[in-house]
Structure 1
């Protein structure tokens, strides 16, 4: 049996921009996501910390995208934008529950669950591991000019024209990884 072809990553078709660094206490590159980042087990947004972005950055955006979802267009798990440029870390849970630690002024857009928060991994039981691409965007404007009702695609459209640099971290998860 041959291995299934994997979907392209979300930035493969966008213009190249410089990169910077994003790290997490909760998501290790290429490793299986912790139960806390799984929809049915915890549904807690991961801690993220970034550095090395351009000096002219005026705000940040954070997304989580599953390019392997069986939809034909992937699945957006998290869309957060208008994060002030002074913020370089989100604590675990900032985009979950009571939004403890969510920076003032940050806006949650709709994810593909239809909610305005972080929605954890939930791949179909029979699927191989999905990739969860956490991206931090350094943005050239303080606000993207869209509101919380914007679709992930519309937020992405605006990010395409306002991104100075990008950092990404990819974790993986399959239903068979559940503990």
Structure 2
């Protein structure tokens, strides 16, 4: 079955403007296909991420992976890691594994399939275009975002709208 629809817009320019900073990855090249181990069918391994240049006053970070191209009105949250201490500037590959040791008081909220972990790329077969997976490091103005591990991606995103000092983005793609 082919889904007749168009690619969703990049959601981040639609949000209130905040300063950007730099995120890099040895696993994700901006705009290029994800590695096989970052795909749900081949490993669900979260990529290595490093960031620098966060705005002054950053008190914590939230790291997310979002697919705006999922065939839903609200996209699909693949990873939500909150309350990463401000002195942390990188995550090793696999940091999003269920039960992984996380820095400080950081914890994962449930992705849209209900697990506290990173879920790799998994677009439905037949989509006419590659899906985009936005790995975003949000610099947060508070030590705690004020959510718990049961918060949805929408609730986390809502809280980020009021507590984000800056945003760093790298995105990969994947097509079946």
Q: Which TM-score bucket, shorter chain as reference?
A: over 0.9
| Match of residue 159 from structure 2 | 158
TM-score by length of 1: 0.92
Instruction: Using the TM superposition, give the Cα deviation of residue 104 of structure 1 relative to its aligned residue in structure 2, in angstroms.
Output: 2.5
Q: State yes or no: 1:28 paired with 2:29.
A: yes
* Residues 44-84 of structure 1: per-residue CA shift (max 9 Å, x gap): 01100000111210000000000101112110000111000
Seen in structure 2, the aligned counterparts of structure 1 residues 49 and 134 have a Cα distance that, compared at 3 Å, is same
| Match of residue 92 from structure 2 | 91
| Match of residue 115 from structure 2 | 115
Count of residues paired in the alignment: 172
Moved over 4 A (4+): none
Supply the distance in 2 between the matched residues of 1:9 and 1:65 (Cα, whole angstroms): 10
Supply the distance in 2 between the matched residues of 1:56 and 1:104 (Cα, whole angstroms): 18
Supply the distance in 1 between the matched residues of 2:24 and 2:10 (Cα, whole angstroms): 19
**Structure 1: 5+ residue stretches without partners:** none
Greater alpha carbon shift after TM alignment, 76-85 vs 104-113: 104-113
Instruction: Using the TM superposition, give the Cα deviation of residue 6 of structure 1 relative to its aligned residue in structure 2, in angstroms.
Output: 1.9
Supply the distance in 2 between the matched residues of 1:148 and 1:98 (Cα, whole angstroms): 13
Instruction: Using the TM superposition, give the Cα deviation of residue 145 of structure 1 relative to its aligned residue in structure 2, in angstroms.
Output: 1.1
> C-alpha root-mean-square deviation of aligned residues, in Å?
1.3
1:15-164 equivalence runs, <5 A:
15-100=16-101, 102-127=102-127, 128-164=129-165
- Are the aligned partners of 1:111 and 1:118 in contact in 2 as well (CA < 8 Å)? yes
Instruction: Using the TM superposition, give the Cα deviation of residue 10 of structure 1 relative to its aligned residue in structure 2, in angstroms.
Output: 2.4
| Match of residue 174 from structure 2 | 173
Seen in structure 2, the aligned counterparts of structure 1 residues 147 and 97 have a Cα distance that, compared at 3 Å, is closer
* Residues 27-50 of structure 1: per-residue CA shift (max 9 Å, x gap): 000110001100010100110000
Supply the distance in 2 between the matched residues of 1:135 and 1:114 (Cα, whole angstroms): 20
**Structure 2: 5+ residue stretches without partners:** none
Instruction: Using the TM superposition, give the Cα deviation of residue 98 of structure 1 relative to its aligned residue in structure 2, in angstroms.
Output: 4.1
Supply the distance in 2 between the matched residues of 1:57 and 1:97 (Cα, whole angstroms): 27
* Residues 73-123 of structure 1: per-residue CA shift (max 9 Å, x gap): 1100001110000100000001114415x2131021111011111000001
Supply the distance in 2 between the matched residues of 1:112 and 1:78 (Cα, whole angstroms): 8
Supply the distance in 2 between the matched residues of 1:48 and 1:10 (Cα, whole angstroms): 21
